[in-house]
């Protein structure tokens, strides 16, 4: 979720995030990130224990030179939807805590925003 000194050379590293669902309930999140591109996995967990994941190909995202990218989201309760991954430091091609968000909307109508 190209990345600065927050991560190791090749190994994946985790960055925590937090946010709220549309109902105001807190959500926790973790993004596994890789310095040299690759696929970043975002895992979100609601207060009710529903876990949803989405993958973003960091290399493709950075090559696009766009601030946002749509990613598919799937959940352990069968729900699914889309997330909009946005990094406001995309021009610098770096990850800065507090500058990355995932806004999601699921088929069930659930939606919310996670900040990293």
pLDDT in tens, 52-99: 999 988 878 878 888 899 999 999 999 999 999 998 877 766 666 788
Tally DSSP H helices, then E strands, for the chain: 1, 8
Rg (CA), the chain: 13
43: exposed, middle or buried (C-beta count within 10 Å: 0-12, 13-18, 19+)? middle
Domains of the chain, by residue range, sit at: 13-115
- Predicted confidence at residue 20, as pLDDT, reads 85
Q: Does domain 13-115 have CATH number 2.40.128?
A: yes
Question: DSSP string covering 33-59, please?
Answer: E-TT--EEEEEEEETT--EEEEEEEHH
* Greatest Cα-to-Cα distance within the chain, rounded to the nearest angstrom: 39
Nearest-angstrom CA–CA distance, 110 and 18:
16
The pTM assigned to this predicted structure is 0.78
């Amino acid at each position: 979720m190209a990345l600065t000194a927050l991560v190791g050379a090749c190994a994946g590293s985790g960055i925590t995030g937090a946010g709220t669902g549309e109902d105001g309930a807190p959500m926790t999140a973790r993004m596994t990130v890789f310095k040299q591109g690759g696929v970043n996995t975002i895992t979100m967990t609601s207060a009710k224990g529903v876990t949803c994941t989405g993958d973003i190909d960091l290399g493709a995202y950075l090559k696009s030179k766009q601030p946002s990218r749509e990613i598919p989201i799937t959940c352990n309760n069968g729900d699914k939807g889309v997330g909009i991954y946005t990094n406001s430091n995309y021009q610098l091609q770096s990850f800065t805590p507090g500058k990355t968000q995932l806004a999601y909307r699921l088929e069930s109508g659930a939606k919310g925003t996670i900040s990293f």
